[in-house]
A = this chain, B = another copy of it.
Amino acid sequence: MAVTRETETESSQFTPNTDPSNTKDFSQALQSFADSEKVQLSVFSQTLQTPVASERRRDWVLNVPEPPGLLSKLKSSFKKTLLCPLENKIQCLGKHPVLALVSILNVIFPPLSWCKEYNVTKFRRDILAGLTLASLCIPQSIGYATLAKLDPQYGLYTSVIPPLIYAMMGSSRDIAIGPVAVVSLLLSSMIPKLEDPTTNPIAYRKLVLTVTFFAGVFQAAFGLLRLGFLVDFLSHAAIVGFMAGAACVIGLQQLKSLLGISKFTNKTDIISVLTSICKSMHTLNPYSFIIGSSFLIFILSTKYYLARKYKKLFWLAAMAPLLSVIMSTLLVFLTRADKHGVKIVKHITGGLNPSSLHELQFNSPHTAEAAKIGLIVALVALTEAIAVGRSFATMKGYRLDGNKEMLAMGVMNITGSLSSCYVATGSFSRTAVNFSAGCETAVSNIVMAITVLISLEFCTRLLYFTPVAILASIILSALPGLINISEAKYIWKVDKMDFLACAAAFLGVLFVSVEIGLLLAVGISFAKIILNSIQPGTEKLGRLPGSDLFGDMEQYPIATTTPGALIVRVKSALLCFANANFIRGRILNLALEEQDEGVMESANQDRVQLVILDMSNLLNIDTSSIAALEDLQNDLETNGMQLAVANPRWHVMHKLRLANFLKKIKGRVFLTIGEAIEACLTSKNMLPI
């Protein structure tokens, strides 16, 4: 809204009527008053100098410096984002080599900045948080590996190396790194199209590791090239919808293990899954179902009832999954329920992460496809990690650098792909537990990683009798945290179009597939941008009564019209090929209507003679729109009206001048609406350029 005051305008309207002597009297009176009170009178003195000032202002508008061209703009933005930081560091390295080295080390290894202040108290807290985290992490990791259609140990591997790397390079102090549900789902919904995990598990695993490598490379590249903004392309609303949809899909996938069904579809959409479940209902295993659902109730009740009622019992909620695993394993071992059809985890390969360098595939026919999946997974993983990291950083009052985070995530996943880990990122549920457990720094991640490593070395044999249904319960219990109904309600309240993107992501994921849901959300978000930018509307501006401001007459119902002039503003930010003709037509119709009304209502002097186009909100125009403006001026002229332009921005003014449009409207370009009214209606002196 370009509200413009026009004190000078109104006052200058009467200046020509008063004879010089009186004006002098008045100015003398003012002067004496000012002297006596030692008051700033710039406003008043200006009022009396209006004709000169107005001329000077027109010069300001007309003689703007040339804006930077496309090439120089690209060059400077490249310099600013990539070269300058590097150059600064290199220069600094020459002058103060030690200081510079320290600052570079600080940049690459952010933990160095807090390690000086690290002490025993903090360490004790981190150990406690790390152990709590590990107790949640071990069952979740096994569960998510199953969700990603990998052997259980791959989930545990992913909870060892990536957290260690992140602890050295990442800047978040709260985030808990490891496998997460949504990424596991993404992998298991996209990669089986290339390799079937049931018939050829080794090829499938190799592909997963290759995708992990590519995801890491993309993430590191984004960080190095400072493309942090790419993460923002998944809008907040889209993420809310996507996460909720993914949670539902993951929940549906878990029904297989929970119900102990043997046959299950490979598709992820709700219709396929539900029909598949209905068809295989007769293979349901009641023991599996009873074990799984009773422990699910136990975990959920600790998490949503006990931990909320007694804040100090949060550790119980965090330990509940591990307790469930232990108790259910004992139960199955004692009752030998596995002989009654309860599926158990069986053998988990123990020991340290094996190297997987030889498993990466760069010459297979699927490499290009793997890179594409890697890109999608990289973006989704980054989006989740940065969203999690930022929200907890805000709570503790520190700030994350998106580019540095990306680099850390990238290095962590590249290293991970070489040591049998699949894509790791920041987990919503575990980060919350880490925060509640009172973690101080990323040391809690190191403690967790070491604990998981020890379990890998010594305890995998203990998990032989763990029922698969319990893993499903653990995953299911983490899902409600991904569904944010209150946020969806807020989005609905504030922005209906945003809600559309949110709902499209949700329904797309639920009814079609994970990729389609993502694509829909991104598509709708960008379509919204285009719609908003070229929305072909116009709004009439009016003077706010008793003041000298101009505002949208619908926004400010008290605004009044100026006799003889129609003041319009375009409702979009761009006047371009896609809306210029429509807007030209709208303005012309509006002007003709106003003219007719003016003729009917009152004397001829009030009929519209001037159409002022307020350009204050126009970011840019193109050649099509300049042609449309020329047409508009011609049409108005044949109907006895004139077009004037108020307040054009830099690039707009420059293009209008290049296109010789200023000559077409005889230089009727003004800094404010008020000046346009004054110059064209009051004094009738259409200034030539």
Contact = CB atoms under 8 A, between A and B. Distances in A.
A337 to B, nearest CB: 48
Interface in A571-586: 571-574, 576-582
Contacts of A493: 658
A47 interface: yes
Contact of A623 (B42, B236, B627): B236
B555 A64 contact: yes
A323 to B, nearest CB: 37
A580 B554 CA distance: 28
Interface centre among A578, A623, A659 (most CB of B within 10 A): A623
Interface string A579-599: 111100000000000000000
A485 interface: no
A293 B401 CA distance: 68
Interface in A1-55: 1-8, 10-11, 13-14, 17-18, 22, 25-26, 29, 33, 36-37, 39-40, 42-43, 46-47, 53
Contacts of A672: 3, 5, 549
A532 B619 contact: yes
A53 B620 CA distance: 35
A43 B14 CA distance: 12
Interface stretch (A97-105, A420-428, A646-654): A646-654
A404 to B, nearest CB: 13
A119 interface: no
Contact of A578 (B67, B235, B397, B574): B235
Contacts of A359: none
Contacts of A490: 623, 659
A235 B631 CA distance: 16
A290 interface: no
A151 B503 CA distance: 54
A181 interface: no
B37 A619 contact: no
A232 B22 contact: no
Interface in A553-571: 554-558, 571
Interface in A506-557: 525-526, 528-530, 532-536, 544, 546-549, 551-552, 554-557
A278 interface: no
Nearest to A661: B494
21 contacts: A4-B5, A13-B40, A22-B33, A26-B33, A60-B544, A67-B554, A70-B497, A229-B582, A233-B577, A236-B577, A397-B638, A490-B659, A494-B655, A497-B622, A525-B577, A528-B576, A530-B533, A533-B574, A572-B619, A616-B617, A617-B619
A668 to B, nearest CB: 17
A69 to B, nearest CB: 7
A650 B552 contact: yes
Contacts of A13: 40
A601 interface: no
A498 interface: yes
Contacts of A547: 46, 53, 57
Contacts of A402: 581
A528 B544 CA distance: 36
Contact of A532 (B232, B394, B556, B573): B573
A94 interface: no
Contacts of A8: 5
A70 B498 CA distance: 11
Interface string A51-78: 0010001001000110101110000000
A7 B295 CA distance: 71
A580 B496 CA distance: 19
B33 A29 contact: yes
A47 B43 contact: yes
A402 to B, nearest CB: 7
Contacts of A25: 33
**Interface size class for chain A?**
35 or more
Q: What is the copy number of this chain in the assembly?
A: 2
A635 interface: yes
B10 A39 contact: no
A399 interface: yes
A409 interface: no
A356 B11 CA distance: 74
A265 interface: no
A42 to B, nearest CB: 7
Top 8 A-B pairs, shortest CB-CB distance: A573-B573, A235-B577, A5-B5, A236-B624, A555-B650, A533-B533, A70-B496, A7-B7
A491 interface: yes
Given A1-B650, A64-B556, 18 more contacts: A10-B43, A29-B33, A57-B544, A60-B544, A65-B554, A65-B557, A67-B555, A229-B581, A234-B577, A235-B577, A402-B581, A494-B659, A532-B620, A533-B573, A552-B649, A552-B650, A616-B617, A617-B617
Contact of A494 (B71, B552, B626, B671): B626
Interface string A459-479: 000000000000000000000
Contacts of A558: 60
Contacts of A526: 530, 578
Given A33-B26, A648-B1, A672-B3, A236 B616 contact: no
Interface core residue of A46, A235, A402 (most chain B CB under 10 Å): A235
A148 interface: no
B647 A1 contact: yes
A398 to B, nearest CB: 10
